[in-house]
Amino acid sequence: MSKKVSVSFFTSKNIEDDLMNLCATSTDYIHVDVGDGKFIERKFNPVKELKELQGALTKRLDVHFMVEDPQKYIEEYSELDCEYITIHCEIKKDILNLLNLIKSYGIKCGLAISPDTDLCFLEPFLDDIDTILVMSVVPGKGGQSFIYNTIERIKKVRKLIGKRNIVINVDGGINSETAKLVDSDIVVSGSFVLNSDDWEKNINAVR
């Protein structure tokens, strides 16, 4: 079964043009990375560009907060057309309250987990989330190579989920080869699509 694709523009040099061009492709979602300069080194918050293009964007957003304190970001992004808002399970905040805040806006909520974090951190929240974003690179830098033990981690996540209706998403180093190796429902691809001459071809190559 083919995967859904969420294209990240984290490495974009021209955000507004790239967002509009992505809407002309068959990507299922636009993946929005947000960084606060603390949880990850880079500060990146394209909410202004997304709000300016709000009426023109035809793709729903798959939002990934790489931030220590997501509350104000959740409130900002709740006004956009978000399918998912995902926060990191490593933050030292009341995760359940934040998940409930996301849901209060009618948006599906998720937890992201970094490569070095034990999967047991997901377990208390499995009945409260719609998606799990398994990071296959260290969060915060585009263009990194895929970490191969992610393949096993995703298998373990499937077992943890059991019969729950939770979508598995994987993010980092996804290209036509690595996409075939992961048993996920969605793949996030950034550089592989944006740095190519044929976005549509590369989107289809990771399905």
Q: Is the pLDDT of residue 1 over 80?
A: no
Given this model, what pLDDT does residue 2 score? 87
Q: Which class in CATH covers the domain with range 4-205?
A: alpha beta
Mean pLDDT of the chain: 97
Q: Are 131 and 110 in contact (CB under 8 A)?
A: yes
> What is the pLDDT averaged over residues 109-132?
98
**Residue 35 corresponds to which tokens in the numbers above?**
């960084």
Q: Are 15 and 45 in contact (CB under 8 A)?
A: no
Name the pLDDT band for 69 (thresholds 50, 70, 90): very high
Which sequence positions are flagged as catalytic?
A: 33, 171
Given this model, what pLDDT does residue 111 score? 98
Tell me the pLDDT tens digit for each residue of 142-166.
788 999 999 999 999 999 999 999 9
